[in-house]
Structure 1
Amino acid sequence: MRPVLVLASFGVSAPEAREKSLAPIVREIKAAFPDFTVTEAYTSAFIRRRLQEQGIEMLSLAERLEELHREGVREVYVQPTHLTPGEEYENKIVRETEPFLSRFSVCRVGEPVFFCEGGGKDDDIARGLAAIVPDVMPQDGEETVLLGHGSPHRHNPVYTLLQRCADEERLPVHIGVLEETDVPNFAMVLERLERRGKKRVLLAPLLLAGGRHVAHDLAGEERDSWKSRLEDAGFSVRLDLRTLGERAAFRRIYVEKVKRLLGR
């Protein structure tokens, strides 16, 4: 029986967003690893319920691994599409895989995108930023703001590391997060922009997939969206709503992550 690659994602319920962001990653992984069966799992119970209401059955990682074990699969590799090694990765991927480690001949878990930091060819922070920035370089008189999710439970250092890397490269890029209890928050990004002295901003998502966060929290006409708040602060805002999953250079990172997982 062929070995199996399980792509474990947080999940996307909107069909158009799923087709633009996650589906291309799945297709490219299948093309890059033709000797493997490629399947998916979603870690978000909320997203799985939303899909079930649409008549789409998507399993959690534990459910997918249980299914593969029943089918007699002996070799399983789990590659997360998550961006950071946060609580979702730790609790919904690493911990959910642990009971199955002894039930397969081979069962390994890969790394999220921004995992290794510290310089060299394996520095995920520098490599990830290099895959994003050429697509979102500002025009004359602009500064780029990339908006990620952040964590409501504890600070996720990845966003700070991304900002430090951008600053070391002298890039006109500012990293922010939606969660006001995490950093860099809106006030911090606004302070950076004001120090730069430019009044035009290119605003783009630092998110794998689209959905409410992009349509409303980032680009919405609501007063609390980042677009509206920047405009209220006197900035002219240009939007690039393409997610990371829609950017070919960024998707290639997942192929490299799977190669690392397989030891190639």
Structure 2
Amino acid sequence: MMRPVLVFVSFGVAAQEARQKSLAPLVSELEMAFPRFSVVEAYTSAFIRRRLKASGIEMPSLEECLAKLCGKGVREVYVQPALLTPGEEYENKILKEAEPFYARFAVLRIGEPIFFRCDGTENDDIVRGLAAISSEIVPAKDEAAVLMGHGSPHRHNPVYALLQQRADEEGKSLYIGVLEETDTPNFATVLDRLRKSGKKRVLLAPLLLTGGRHVTEDMAGEAPASWKSRLQRAGFSVRIAMQTLGERAAFRRLYIEKVRHLIEDN
């Protein structure tokens, strides 16, 4: 009998080193946690898939992956998004691409992004996610932690504000902002809150699953527009933590729990 398949679908990353540091450990841990499943990957980004194909690496979209599994006769498929937040990527590149395949498998279930539930229960993703982040990104006593997420140019995502609200409720010296200036909370919001905090030293870290240009250039680069440069010009001493969320064991464990709920709760 053919094994059930777990599809781990991410936006994707082109740089081999970034893949090996962030996505590869996640896939490996999923394989170990769910040994009765075959674990395969899919990328939502057509741009990254084209770049990888040019270097000899074939990576399917979710639609291509599901079609291939269907052709092989697989009957049971679980799809776990690597996405941090629900939004357009989740709706258009995962839910919509999976929709035509429900009738073609005996079982097809789609999991939740990491920050999906905000219901005050023990499964509240904001509480659990912030706890995982805070366990590994720890500012010194005289520092404030600044986490740079991506945000969306198309539609505001409330997850970042909810994470900030929870951090405030817990009294953490932690400020969350997004790279997209049209989304909120943006850099200006973070800077204003930092100034009001009275802290002069900053621990700057990515609120991103994988590395690449956003981390090396937009966050930590030497160019005037990077968050590091802007914070330094504003008078702050900046310490950089380059590790992405995918490189942090406590955060990777959140994916194991998401998959466990996906398999067991239905």
Fold shared per TM-score above 0.5: yes
Listed as ranges, the matches of 1:110-149 within 5 Å are 110-149=111-150
- Deviations 1:50-108 (CA, angstroms, capped at 9, x unpaired): 11111100000000000000000011100001100011111000110000001100001
Length-normalised TM-score, structure 1? 0.99
Aligned to 1:260: 261
Matched letter for residue 88 of structure 1: E
Counterpart secondary structure, 2:140: coil
SS state at 1:102 partner: helix
- For 2:152, give the aligned amino acid: S
- Corresponding residue number in structure 1 for 2:83: 82
Q: Return the alpha-carbon distance in structure 2 between the equivalents of residues 154 and 262 of structure 1.
A: 30
8 A Cα contact 2:151 2:180, kept in partner: yes
Q: Secondary structure at the match of 2:152?
A: coil
Q: How does 1:182-221 map to 2 (within 5 A)?
A: 182-221=183-222
- Structure 1: distance between partners of 2:254 and 2:144: 25
Deviating above 6 A after TM superposition, structure 1's stretches of 4 or more consecutive aligned residues are: none
Aligned length: 264
Give identity over the alignment, percent: 67
TM-score, length-normalised on structure 2?
A: 0.98
> Is 1:161 paired with 2:170?
no
Deviations 1:113-170 (A, max 9, x none): 0000021211000100100112111112110000000001010000000000000000
Q: Deviations over 1:15-35 (max 9, x none)?
A: 000000000000000001110
Distance 1:154 1:5 in 2: 29
Residue type matched to 1:203 in 2? Answer: L
Distance 2:13 2:137 in 1: 23
Structure 1 residue 263, shift from structure 2 partner = 1.5
Rounded Cα–Cα distance in structure 2 between residues aligned with 1:258 and 1:139: 34
Is the CA contact (8 Å cut-off) linking 2:144 and 2:203 kept in structure 1? Answer: yes
Q: Which residue is equivalent to 1:52?
A: 53
Give unpaired runs (5+ residues) of structure 2. Answer: none
CA distance in 2, matches of 1:147, 1:2: 39
Unaligned runs of 5+ in 1: none
Q: Which SS does the other structure have where 1:204 is aligned?
A: strand
Write out aligned runs for 1:245-256 (5 A): 245-256=246-257
2: distance between equivalents of 1:142 and 1:255?
31
Q: Displacement of 1:3 after TM fit?
A: 0.5
1:231 matched residue in structure 2:
232
CA contact (8 A) 2:136 2:250 kept: no
Tell me, in whole angstroms, the C-alpha distance in 2 between the residues paired with 1:157 and 1:220.
27
